[in-house]
Amino acid sequence: MIEKQSDNEEKNVSEEDNINEDSSSIKVENSEDKELIEESNQKINAEDLKNTISNNDARLQQLEEEHETLKSQYVRIAADFDNFRKRQSRDQDDLKIQLVSKALTAILPIVDNFERARQQLKPESEEAQTLHRSYQGLYKQLVEVLKQQGVAPMRVVGQQFDPNLHEAVLREPSDEFNEDIITEELQRGYHLEGKVLRHALVKVSMGPGKQNSQEPEEKDKVEEDIDSENTISEDN
């Protein structure tokens, strides 16, 4: 009986040793597998990281290109809007000037009549002088209103003739003025904020001695004709 128990104990010890050996080999195999798995995972993680970096670089480049495109569009739209705003402001100013010009142009003949009347009137009696002073007061008020609207008269006598500002009604010789110099103002011209509101009607010089310089030429031509006629008669 005792021998049987000792055999059993030996058998159990040998089985435990085998189990321990098996478990040790399993642990070694598990650790090797674990290292392989970790190495494989590291390789996979490195490739994933490399792909991620590459994708991020491509995405960054794409975003930079989109940013430049949007920036260019913004700059172009901002420039277009600024040009539109300036054009609208300019058009409004031009429209305003056109409307004001139309109204003021209708008033200018009245100013002309006031000036003609002022030159012709020569008050002698006290009553006429009182009326003249009242008239002068009205004329000054009218001129002041025109100044407030930006209207300024042209000063043309002695100036070079300019078809953009003046309209020549007469041209005549003058010993006092050179050619194309305005000698007389027939109707006053006006500016409105630097633009022509009404052209000035003027008389322009043809220069000194124009007629005298032409007479000798005509005289010489007549003498040549006479000489030629005499020569023909002598031949006959």
Instruction: Give domain limits for the chain.
Output: 152-236
Contact 204, 159 (CB under 8 A): no
Burial degree of 107 (CB within 10 A; 0-12, 13-18, 19+) = middle
At residue 125 the predicted structure's pLDDT band, cuts being 50, 70 and 90, is confident
Whether pLDDT at 62 is above 50:
yes
At residue 214 the predicted structure's pLDDT band, cuts being 50, 70 and 90, is very low
Give me the CATH code for the 152-236 domain, please.
2.30.22.10
Helices (H), the chain: 2-120, 126-148, 210-235
Q: ∠188-189-191 over CA atoms, to 5°?
A: 140
